[in-house]
Structure 1
Amino acid sequence: MNAIERFWLRKRQEVGVSLNEVQKQAVLRTEGPLLLLASPGSGKTTTLMMRIGYLIEELGVLPPRIKAVTFSRAAARDMKERFARLFPAQAEARVGFSTIHSFAFEVVREHYRRAGIAYRLIEGDIEREEEAEEGGALPQAGQSPDPDVPVPHKKFILRHLYRTVKGETITDDQMEVLLTYISYVKNKMVPPAGWADVPCDVRDADRILQAYEQYKRTGSDRLLVDFDDMLTICNDALERDADLLRRYQRRYDYVLADESQDTSLVQFAILDKLVRSHGNLCVVADDDQSIYGWRGAEPRYLLDFKQAYPGADVLLMEQNYRSTREIVGAANQFIKRNRNRYPKEMRTNNPAGAAIEKRCLPDFKEQAKHLARRIAALSDPGAAAILYRNHASSIVILNEFDRAGIPFYMKDGDHRFFAHWVVEDVLNFMRMAYTDKRPDLLERIHAKLNGYITKHQMAALKRIDNQASVFDNLLAHVPLRDYQVKLIQEVKTTFERMKELPPRQAIRTIRWQLGYERALERLCERFGFRLETLVGVLNTLEDIADTLETMTDFAGRLKYLEEIMKASRYRSKREGAVTFSTFHSAKGLEFDEVYMIDLIEGIIPSQEDIKKDERDEPADMEEAVRLFYVGMTRARSRLTLLSYKRKDGALVRESRFMTAVRGAEPSPAGSPRTQAGAGRAVPQPAKKAAPSLAPSIRAGSLVRHRTFGDGEVVDRDEERIRIRFATGEKRLSVQACAEQGLLEPV
């Protein structure tokens, strides 16, 4: 028995670890660049830890000479704990487990120390800030010399600059969009000349970013640095300071990067510089699980890995140890919808299990009730998870589960819903129904109701010093246009009637009779809000209001739901609490039973994905496919897919992804397969022959489109097809229609 065989035997006896042939190759190929493509549930973290242990115990590499980076502090901590369990004798070894941001900050600190530059973080201490993703509050740094920015935190600065540039107050939703835009620009290394070309729902985002960059250099007594800056400054410092780069290159002989499908261009540039002198880079990733393109992740470099590192090995870890054959087979077939990927064949030796359940409910409202019934019937709800695309979905579910007395756990509950300006507007409308004598209340909503009350008229109203109705004062003391008189009288009468209405009916009165929904449409046109998002908030409020008797009950219910959402993150699976999670946050987790919900067109894939796909921009649709795949592969034994036919009285279409799973035949990819081809190098991603559109679909023929309904083909060439629908003409990509099965003859 040679030394390597003794190593495998010793680890099997010590901690019960037994690796398959591909995993062993990944451990042993220590020199030079290696791309390890790991399918879901394939044991990648164990393999990575075994590789580090092999370097130390068998090759004699000193632990501090090894750098292992990942992209969240929780993942870095998990790697460190997993390594200590597998190699207890090395528990105190100082292997460099960290996040990429922590490493970048280390470089930035040394760079600024050497240059004598004073700086201040505006997103808190790096380690404490990373804990915020697990629920901690954002720490606040120092005091700012600008009285309008009392704390030099990134959000406070951006709020101040938005008001300066736009003359308006930024909403929480706009703030999140703006933060994502800035992070995307920095992580993609977009030069200032290209900022205006990056799409953003916040108008003039590029101007605000320019002002932000200027403020960080001149708005304080020191240079201000945020998290994205840590990456760009680190990369620039290593590029320009040859001595600094050599110091770090000499510090680490081996660099390992986990979850590398989430790596951005600037992060990869940092890692590339770090290993340039020796080339010992091990990248562990799954191109099929890259789901963070919207914040700058760039999976393209995985597909081009052998071009960047011509001598690299590429190994495929395709064996899934997590899920049943049915789940593995369906997921394996589903991900093949994507063309820009490595040709992996995920397989499993696990036994067969239950068929994937695909259920289309009559109505959206039935979904939460259906889930509550199903989860209540489980012997261990703590082993189950409910996954959704958007945070808004969780509000209706938690409301139903609370009413049913079913405990739930939410690590990433989005409390912003309860502070959303639409929610506050609705509450202010309700307050006005109880008392119409407060000008301050009317001032908050006057631009969002019938009556068209101007700022000048509001200013005049506020100068009136009496306790009469604000509407009476407007009619008696403020100059109005002729058409306003009748409108304001009607508004006053509507508020008087609203006082006695149950909250659900009151919300509908606010939406339609008081003109709030029309006002939202105008705001969307002016500020670029998404109307579907705002209407979704209103629909959710109606669902919460259902069965409540008074508007006071409704306000109390909102406060209560916010509190139980906050409290839910302190529950655990051991308490029998079912997990609520977005698809994104579920990546890396696994559950016995998984419910994927809201599987309709416009949610997954999103309306934006669909529009871009129709414009022949397939990258976003491929990411949506990967996101759905991530959801599927969280399940060990049971997977349930839920859609519905109607939402808020309107017909909706089942997600094309669910349709694909529904129509797929059982795949041989889910059955056991030999290891004959295991560990093979894959020089290029898979290139499938593109499906073709039926020749019978030509000018004059009638067709049915999955999203737009029935239409008539006007003309067609090799690339585009023009169709006249009831809603107007559309020019669509022939390739996209064929690949996604969007068109069929009528």
Structure 2
Amino acid sequence: MEYFDLLKSINGIELNDQQIKAASFDRGNALVLSTAGSGKTTVTTVRAGRLLYENKCGGKILTITFSKMAAGDMYNRFYTFFGDSHKNKTDFLTIHAFSYKIVRDFFRRKGVNFELLTNNYQVLSEILKSHYSNSYFNYVSDEEVENLSSSIGFINNMMIDPKEYKDYGIEIKGFDKIYEAYKTYKSQNQLIDFDDMLLYAHKILSNSSNQRENIKRQYEYVQIDEMQDTSKIQHEIIKLISDNNLFMVGDDDQAIYSFRGSYPDFMLDFKNIYRDGEIFYLDNNYRSDKNIVEGAKRFIEKNKKRYIKEINTTNKKENEINIIKVSSRSEQARYITEELRKINGETVGILFRYNISAMILANNLYENSINFYIKEDKSKFFSSPVLYDVLAFLSLALNPKDKSAFSRIYYKSYTYFTKGMCKIVTDSPRDDLTVFDILDNYKYFDYYVYDKIRQFKMDINYINKLRPNDAIRFIKLELEYINYLERMQDEGRNNLSNSLHILEILEEIGSYCSNIKEFTEKIENLQGVIKKASENIAANVTLTTIHSAKGLEYDQVYIVDNIDGEFPSDRKNMNAENYERLLEEERRIFYVGITRAKRKLNIIIPDRPSLFVNELLSANKSNC
């Protein structure tokens, strides 16, 4: 029986002509360009089964993808389709798992012992603290550590000299020195992290022809899923072991991981890199309403650096794309809550560009007893330095003797108090005095300092008279906390837009509270709500970033916070070329969000409409 007939009769798998053509490719280099919802994973899995069924493969087939979940999904699909008859002939691995095997085996033969650094947070945190030890702003936040970790990963994956970091938009001052300090720490302690798996694997394969040939003999065929997510070093590793026999599947319109070093230019340059290569197209979206597919197609065609390709569907036009204008994020949350009350049994994805957007939504859903799942752990909000600063201001207002609160915020307002003044307070044996009295009793300041001490005391006391949301605005503006945040951004140590968003969230949460004590209790309670929601996998309503929703689908999708200057982000100090590159990726992110929707797509605007909303509206009008 013909293979594709067998699939249909035994497993009920019926491929269209494009899918059959791609899955029938035998040997050489091929690129399968797939649109969203076009069945690319099925094609990759079915091709592996065909090569084995038709005895085309004497060795094993290696299929590489870029997440454990995707590798597990492909493994499960393969064995659902074909059972365990080819159990020893296929491997579905992440690029890191594959590289780690090479490194582990090589070091074992050399008698080198090493340990895997699975979480580098604490190490990077200590290195950053040491780096900033002489700085006025010597506190290190989770956001800074994550930014550093991401920047190191980008440098490694793009195979860039760390000394050239400024040319690639990395704003961490002295990044090259921090990079070298981290590298030295790992070497001294015989540690390797996830990036090192790739760096060492590439070095081993580049320097050892025996190693390369062993892998080529082991894996006769190599397949790559999600090709658009491949970084430079990952692609170089794949080229070294593929023996000019590489089957790549991906969608250049869904390349959204440049912050991790993904390099979709390999797809766009396919014909230059693999001159004998063949290109196949999967252009039928099986997932979405035709209105969504056509709107998404016209929208993504705004990008210039992409393959020109058809994007079609046989699905009907049933629901227009719904664009909703509201006055604020809090009204956005209330609108969604009311809409969710009308939905029965359908899956709903509430998607956003940045994790922080979940907080107002989550709080509102909880207040209204809506069951939901948060795909990522949002505890980063609860460890935000902005949150801790606000709580410290409020704590000092409640208890002017709180030395710990004072030591956190003494330099973060208009006062510009010095480290020496903080030390006077923290070293004072007088726990019965307020921090202001301790400073006022000190006799050696210049006269104008006492005026600042007394004014600050009056302002801190005034906070007690305000409702929490008004108190937060007072801290931001009247105490000039916003000026401190701006200085931190100038230092390359935070993102002002994110910080202001956190303040906005705190104001919204504060609007539900009548006093500071109730506000702090609500923050603590919300942390428990978020933790519980992150375990609530069975809920029909999911809150997630667009990045984490990639590969998923929902009956209804709400894309929120479509605000001018936020999504896409502001140009800042970028030149025209770099901004155009950023804008095209941001447009792809929005496109990925759009194409998660099966039946209904809702775009919500809680402020001035973003560029992308206007482009989507314009594209739809031009089709009328």
Measured against the shorter chain, the TM-score band is over 0.9
Aligned residue runs from structure 1 range 160-559, under 5 A: 160-167=126-133, 168-217=138-187, 219-220=188-189, 223-276=190-243, 279-381=244-346, 383-466=347-430, 467-559=432-524
Matches of 1:90 and 1:177, distance apart in 2:
46
Shift of 1:88: 2.6
User: Deviation per CA, 1:220-244, whole angstroms, max 9, x where unpaired?
Assistant: 2xx3211001101101100001111
Q: Contact 1:386/1:597 (CA < 8 Å) preserved in 2?
A: yes
Check 1:451–1:606 CA distance in 2 against 1; reply closer, same or farther (3 A cut). closer
- Alignment of 1:48 onto 2:56: no
Q: Contact 1:613/1:621 (CA < 8 Å) preserved in 2?
A: no
The worse-fitting range, judged by mean Cα deviation, of 479-488 and 403-412 is 479-488
- Alignment of 1:632 onto 2:600: no
Q: Which of 599, 607, 611 pairs up with 2:570? A: 607
Q: Contact 1:595/1:642 (CA < 8 Å) preserved in 2?
A: yes
TM-score (norm 1): 0.80
Q: Which structure is higher in RCO with an 8 Å CA cutoff and minimum separation 6?
A: 2
Matches of 1:511 and 1:116, distance apart in 2:
58
For 1:7, the equivalent position in structure 2 comes to 3
Shift of 1:378: 0.8
For 1:657, the equivalent position in structure 2 comes to 612
The worse-fitting range, judged by mean Cα deviation, of 508-517 and 250-259 is 508-517
Matches of 1:182 and 1:616, distance apart in 2:
20
Shift of 1:478: 4.6
- Alignment of 1:621 onto 2:576: no
For 2:79, the equivalent position in structure 1 comes to 84
Aligned residue runs from structure 1 range 16-55, under 5 A: 16-55=12-51
Secondary structure (helix, strand or coil) at the match of 1:581 reads strand
Secondary structure (helix, strand or coil) at the match of 2:159 reads coil
User: Deviation per CA, 1:710-746, whole angstroms, max 9, x where unpaired?
Assistant: xxxxxxxxxxxxxxxxxxxxxxxxxxxxxxxxxxxxx
Shift of 1:193: 4.4
Matches of 1:474 and 1:532, distance apart in 2:
34
User: Deviation per CA, 1:96-146, whole angstroms, max 9, x where unpaired?
Assistant: 1110000000000122123332222112xxxxxxxxxxxxxxxxxxxxxxx
What letter corresponds to residue 523 of structure 2 in structure 1?
Answer: L
The worse-fitting range, judged by mean Cα deviation, of 511-520 and 6-15 is 511-520
Shift of 1:325: 1.1
Secondary structure (helix, strand or coil) at the match of 1:618 reads helix
Matches of 1:560 and 1:112, distance apart in 2:
48
What letter corresponds to residue 406 of structure 2 in structure 1?
Answer: L
User: Deviation per CA, 1:238-277, whole angstroms, max 9, x where unpaired?
Assistant: 000111111111110001110110000100001101112x
Secondary structure (helix, strand or coil) at the match of 1:487 reads helix
Check 1:362–1:426 CA distance in 2 against 1; reply closer, same or farther (3 A cut). closer
Matches of 2:217 and 2:509, distance apart in 1:
60
CA-based RMSD? 2.0
Matches of 2:311 and 2:34, distance apart in 1:
9
For 2:105, the equivalent position in structure 1 comes to 110
Check 1:558–1:290 CA distance in 2 against 1; reply closer, same or farther (3 A cut). same
The worse-fitting range, judged by mean Cα deviation, of 409-418 and 459-468 is 459-468
Shift of 1:78: 0.4
For 1:156, the equivalent position in structure 2 comes to 122
Check 1:581–1:463 CA distance in 2 against 1; reply closer, same or farther (3 A cut). closer
May I ask how many residue pairs the two structures share in their alignment? Answer: 619
User: Deviation per CA, 1:623-665, whole angstroms, max 9, x where unpaired?
Assistant: 11111110111111111111133xxxxxxx3111111111224
Shift of 1:216: 2.0
Matches of 2:413 and 2:568, distance apart in 1:
34
Aligned residue runs from structure 1 range 643-722, under 5 A: 643-645=605-607, 653-665=608-620
Shift of 1:522: 3.0
Shift of 1:13: 1.5
Matches of 2:503 and 2:585, distance apart in 1:
29
What letter corresponds to residue 641 of structure 1 in structure 2?
Answer: I
What letter corresponds to residue 9 of structure 2 in structure 1?
Answer: Q
What letter corresponds to residue 363 of structure 1 in structure 2?
Answer: S
What letter corresponds to residue 180 of structure 2 in structure 1?
Answer: Q
Q: Contact 1:33/1:309 (CA < 8 Å) preserved in 2?
A: yes
Check 1:175–1:108 CA distance in 2 against 1; reply closer, same or farther (3 A cut). same
The worse-fitting range, judged by mean Cα deviation, of 365-374 and 439-448 is 439-448
Secondary structure (helix, strand or coil) at the match of 2:147 reads helix
User: Deviation per CA, 1:535-566, whole angstroms, max 9, x where unpaired?
Assistant: 22111100111121121111111111111111
- Alignment of 1:75 onto 2:41: no
What letter corresponds to residue 482 of structure 2 in structure 1?
Answer: E
The worse-fitting range, judged by mean Cα deviation, of 400-409 and 208-217 is 208-217
What letter corresponds to residue 583 of structure 1 in structure 2?
Answer: I
Matches of 1:666 and 1:325, distance apart in 2:
16
Q: Contact 1:333/1:667 (CA < 8 Å) preserved in 2?
A: no
Secondary structure (helix, strand or coil) at the match of 1:638 reads strand
The runs of 5 or more residues in structure 2 that have no matched partner are none
Shift of 1:617: 4.1
Matches of 1:98 and 1:211, distance apart in 2:
32
Matches of 2:127 and 2:170, distance apart in 1:
17
Shift of 1:89: 5.2
What letter corresponds to residue 110 of structure 1 in structure 2?
Answer: D
Matches of 1:229 and 1:253, distance apart in 2:
26
What letter corresponds to residue 464 of structure 2 in structure 1?
Answer: K
Secondary structure (helix, strand or coil) at the match of 1:90 reads coil
Q: Contact 2:155/2:261 (CA < 8 Å) preserved in 1?
A: yes
The runs of 5 or more residues in structure 1 that have no matched partner are 124-152, 646-652, 671-746
Shift of 1:20: 0.8
What letter corresponds to residue 635 of structure 1 in structure 2?
Answer: A
For 1:119, the equivalent position in structure 2 comes to 114
The worse-fitting range, judged by mean Cα deviation, of 551-560 and 99-108 is 551-560
User: Deviation per CA, 1:563-598, whole angstroms, max 9, x where unpaired?
Assistant: 11111122134x4x3111111111100111111111
Secondary structure (helix, strand or coil) at the match of 1:338 reads coil
Check 1:376–1:201 CA distance in 2 against 1; reply closer, same or farther (3 A cut). farther
Secondary structure (helix, strand or coil) at the match of 1:448 reads coil
Aligned residue runs from structure 1 range 124-143, under 5 A: none
Instruction: Give the fraction of aligned pairs with identical amino acids, expressed as a percent.
Output: 32
Matches of 1:342 and 1:477, distance apart in 2:
71
Matches of 2:202 and 2:122, distance apart in 1:
27
Matches of 1:248 and 1:569, distance apart in 2:
40
Q: Contact 2:158/2:231 (CA < 8 Å) preserved in 1?
A: yes
